[in-house]
Amino acid sequence: MLLLELNEVSKSFGGVKALENVTAEVQEGEIVGLIGPNGAGKTTLFNVIAGVIKCDRGKVKFAGKDITKYPTHKISTLGIGRTFQIVRPFATMSCLENVLVALSISEKSRSKNERIEKAQELLETVGLAEKEQTPAGNLNLIDKKRLELARALATNPRLLLLDEVIGGLNSYEVGEAIALIDKLRKNFKLTILWIEHVMKAIMQLSDRILVLDQGKLICEGTPEEVSHDARVIRAYLGDSSASSS
């Protein structure tokens, strides 16, 4: 089933075209990587999908619904969760409370104790069980990223947008993170669209990869296909014919 549909999405900031006619689809159950050089418009695309910014032209459809003009919170309750490259926990709240904020909306009908149980479960899933009372501001980077994941999961997402969850981690932690994402995907039946610069992770885990460059979708395919595509190599490494002339 088609879960996310982007139809000629465009967004400019002043004179800069951050996104230009981006058309793409994500099927339910897929894990799709979104890559591209810095400033390619990856995060802008995430913001448009999550409703944090509105696109100038084009349409975003989620599970058949046109969500282009929906406010952020409504998109979240429909089932799109996102994490940020620069983690944004509610620093003065404990980890448990951070997750409870999301649960108090997504699990409104449940009792207080059930919500607390669910929050503890989620924290355990991401490996933060022992730190549930720690203020989120005191966590180290990887734990903050874990918390960001737990909080996004607490919104009961069908589609999870992960913005560089692995970036900034050391190679041991990268392995751990890949295993965690794979586990979450299976346990929660998630569809994942993720931005990542760590190629090892994105090549290993993604079913399909989208490549953005200067706001345009320049390539789409399996990890194997994308890594050999001339346009992608040019976007990352530059044009050899242009530099030699």
Partner 1 sequence: MVDLLLYLTNGIVMGTSYALCALGVALVVGVMRVINFAHGEFYVLAGYLSATFASALHLGIFPSIAMSILCVFFVGLVVERFLIRPTYGNEMYSLIITFILYIIVENLYLFIFGPYPQKPPNWVSGSQNLFGLFYYGNQRLVSFVTAALLISIFLVVLHKTWLGRVIRAVAIDREMASLLGVNPTRINFFSFGLGCVLAGAAGIVLTPIFPVVPTVGVGISLTAFVVVVLGGMDSFLGAVVGGLILGIVENLGVAYISSGYKHLFGFVILILVLFLKPTGLFGHRQFQ
Query: For binding to partner 1 (CB under 8 A), which residues are involved?
Result: 50, 52, 71-74, 76-77, 81-82, 84, 88, 90-93, 97, 100-102, 104-106, 112, 115, 151-152, 154-155
Task: Supply the minimum distance, in Å, between the C-beta of residue 101 and partner 1.
Answer: 4
Smaller CB separation from partner 1, 184 or 219: 184
Q: How many helices (H) and strands (E) does the chain have?
A: 10, 10
Smaller CB separation from partner 1, 90 or 188: 90
Task: Supply the minimum distance, in Å, between the C-beta of residue 160 and partner 1.
Answer: 12
Smaller CB separation from partner 1, 106 or 206: 106
C-alpha distance from residue 2 to each of 6, 60, 65, 202, 218 (Å) = 11, 12, 11, 22, 21
Q: How far apart are CA 36 and CA 39, in angstroms?
A: 8
Smaller CB separation from partner 1, 161 or 198: 161
Task: Supply the minimum distance, in Å, between the C-beta of residue 49 and partner 1.
Answer: 11
Task: Supply the minimum distance, in Å, between the C-beta of residue 115 and partner 1.
Answer: 8
Smaller CB separation from partner 1, 112 or 186: 112
Q: How far apart are CA 30 and CA 191, in angstroms?
A: 5
Task: Supply the minimum distance, in Å, between the C-beta of residue 152 and partner 1.
Answer: 8
Residues forming a β-bridge with 65:
62
Helix (H) or strand (E) holding 24: strand 16-27
Helix (H, G, I), strand (E, B) or coil at 34: strand
Alpha helices, H only, 69-111? 72-78, 95-106
Name 121's Cβ contacts closer than 8 Å, sequence gap at least 6.
Answer: none
